[in-house]
Amino acid sequence: MISTDQLKQLREETGAPISLCKEALEQAGGNLKTAKQIVEKLGREFYQKKLKKETKQGVIESYIHPGQKIGTMVELHCESDFVARSEEFRKLAHELCLQIAAISPEEIPLLEQPWIRDETKKIKDLVNEYITKFGENIVIEKFFRCEI
């Protein structure tokens, strides 16, 4: 029997949807470490299915670095207006702007860059985590970086 505490802990640690966490815990027989690995595997499969969905909603986020010498803008798309209006989605858009300001995509393609907050992850891994968390496809449609 899977406890609510286990389900809650796995959700907090992975950010995966409750249904995915429950399935992983059931497959792992309640073992959290194994369940995390299963969530990653199921998340990748889930992500591959979501790549085919259309993204017609989204936000445009901008960032001006202190000193007013670097500015960035990103157009981030998702499937639904509900997700586009969420604080977490806007947070992702802002993180992408900060990333673009920190490391020019002309040096390393954006999705291949190590994330500035956790260099063990690439930007594509960060986006994939949000795809799994929201259950929707997310696409970085356009971005712009200007530096004086």
Range of the domain at 89: 57-147
Q: What pLDDT does residue 78 have?
A: 96
The predicted-structure confidence for 122-134, as pLDDT tens digits, reads as follows 999 999 889 888 8
For residues 37 and 72, membership in a common domain is answered with: no
Q: What domain count does the chain have? A: 2
Tens-place pLDDT, residues 66-78: 999 999 999 999 9
| DSSP tag of 113 | S
Backbone angles phi, psi at 79, to 5 degrees: -85, -35
Which residue reads 């792992």 in tokens?
A: 28
Same domain? For 104 and 137 the reply is yes
17 with 65, same domain: the answer is no
Q: Which residues contact 35 (CB under 8 A, 6 or more apart)?
A: 6, 10, 21, 24, 25, 27, 28
